[in-house]
Amino acid sequence: MWEGNPLKKKIHFGWFTEYGPIGWDGPDAVEGDWRQPKLYQQMAQICEKGMFDFVLYADHLGITSSFKGSIDNYVKYGLNGVNHDSTLLATMVAASTNHLGVGTTVSTMLTPPYLLARQMASLDHLSMGRVAWNVVTTGNVAGFLNFGMDQLPDHDARYDQAEEYMELCFKLWSSWEPDAVIMDRKTGVFADPDKVQPINFEGQYYKSRGPLNVLPTPQGRPTIIQAGSSQRGKDFAAKWADAVIVGAHYLDDMKAYYDDMKQRVTKFGREPEQLKVFFIIKPVLGMTEQLVNQKLEALRHPPESAIHAALSALSSRMNYDLSKFNIDEPLPPIDEKEIQGGQTTLSRFYTSGRRPTLREVAIEEAAGNKGSIAGTPEQVADQLQHIMESVGGDGFVVRVDTHDHGYMQEFVDTVIPVLQARGLVRKEYTGKTLRDNLMEF
């Protein structure tokens, strides 16, 4: 058992996946139709048993051609880009759970702000205050082409526009005062018109009269999640987000990111505890060390199809074609300005003086083992506790394909009880809303 500095607060957990076929052919995939809600609802119920804060569904608005200039690999392997609408799925999952937050990914660049504000407010009502919006600016040209736009705006320019988008949405969500609704049957008064006002917003990119035609919601506004890891993205998250998720692979990187984000928050007049930092993980878990070693060995030798799928997925996230490079050599330096998607997608593989080949990067990506966490339930709990004590908090999102129910069930049934016994994971939900639970500790 890990014996280091005692952790002063509990660990938050989330589940990160997408509404798509990812993992449909995995060796441990359960039978079921990924297009239907049942698989997602069952997995969410497992997460709720494990006292997770939320589930977050990634989304994409088009099938990319980032790898080799073709959609073929993405269609062939059912990669990210082949997706159904995560917002509609979130309503189904919310209806099947009682406490778990439901997060949907929506683009600021390709969704009218009034529409987004209305949908998120409605979903907050339907979920009784459990909705989260994962804010993305869309870094892949496929979505823009599908919406009739031929060019992808510059990375920082998309964030500039997103700033105004957020300002408008926040004004719409507050266009009704919290106590505006009366619904007095005796007088017939539904709401006090003095407490519902147009916002008359007019900016550089957007214009809206308001008010929003959705009543004040349980959370007031949705919980905001963001995954920015570029300098511009981190500032955006520090200003607007309640939680940020990041795929840092090594402890030093996690610590540096955590400290950086907590410091950035203060620049915008916020307290560090108002932004929770979640690290993406998928521990290799087994009931015995022998079984863990067998799983690790299998991950070190994925089939060639998995390597191609991983490179395709990385190319999609970066909006940059990695097929042009020799797979058995380290990547040469790439100008950050050429990467219009996730600018730090590759940099996390090349930290601490490491110079892996592109094949090694693909193998690590295919394994999905963010943070290189592996062991028996007790050992995994030790490592998670060690990370949190070394970094300072706040939690993890477990990135597991929807079909892999066995993995999540084992994690919840074996690792979570160990952490609960140490007082590091809640044993019951105390908050009424997602933000209540997220800010509980």
Binding residues for FMN: 59, 105, 155, 159, 229-230
Name the pairing type of β-strands 181-184 and 189-191: antiparallel
> Alpha-carbon distance 221 to 120, whole Å?
8
Binding annotation: 59, 105, 155, 159, 229-230
Instruction: Catalogue the E-assigned strands of 241-384.
Output: 243-246, 276-281, 284-285, 374-375
Q: 291 is written with which tokens? A: 């079984």
Cross-strand pairs, 17: 57
Asked whether the beta carbons of 101 and 153 are under 8 A apart, the reply is no
Task: Say how far residue 150 (Cα) sits from the centre of its chain.
Answer: 27
Asked whether the beta carbons of 42 and 128 are under 8 A apart, the reply is no
User: For residue 160, what are the contacts with CB-CB under 8 A and spacing of at least 6?
Assistant: none
Name the pairing type of β-strands 223-226 and 131-136: parallel
Asked whether the beta carbons of 63 and 75 are under 8 A apart, the reply is yes
> Alpha-carbon distance 12 to 435, whole Å?
12
Asked whether the beta carbons of 109 and 76 are under 8 A apart, the reply is no
Asked whether the beta carbons of 398 and 21 are under 8 A apart, the reply is no
Helix (H) or strand (E) holding 184: strand 181-184
Cβ neighbourhood burial of 373 (10 Å; 0-12, 13-18, 19+): buried
Q: What is the DSSP string of 365-429?
A: HHHT-TT--EESHHHHHHHHHHHHHHH---EEEEE--TT-HHHHHHIIIIIHHHHHHTT-S-SS-
- Closest Cα to residue 391, out of 242, 246, 223? 246
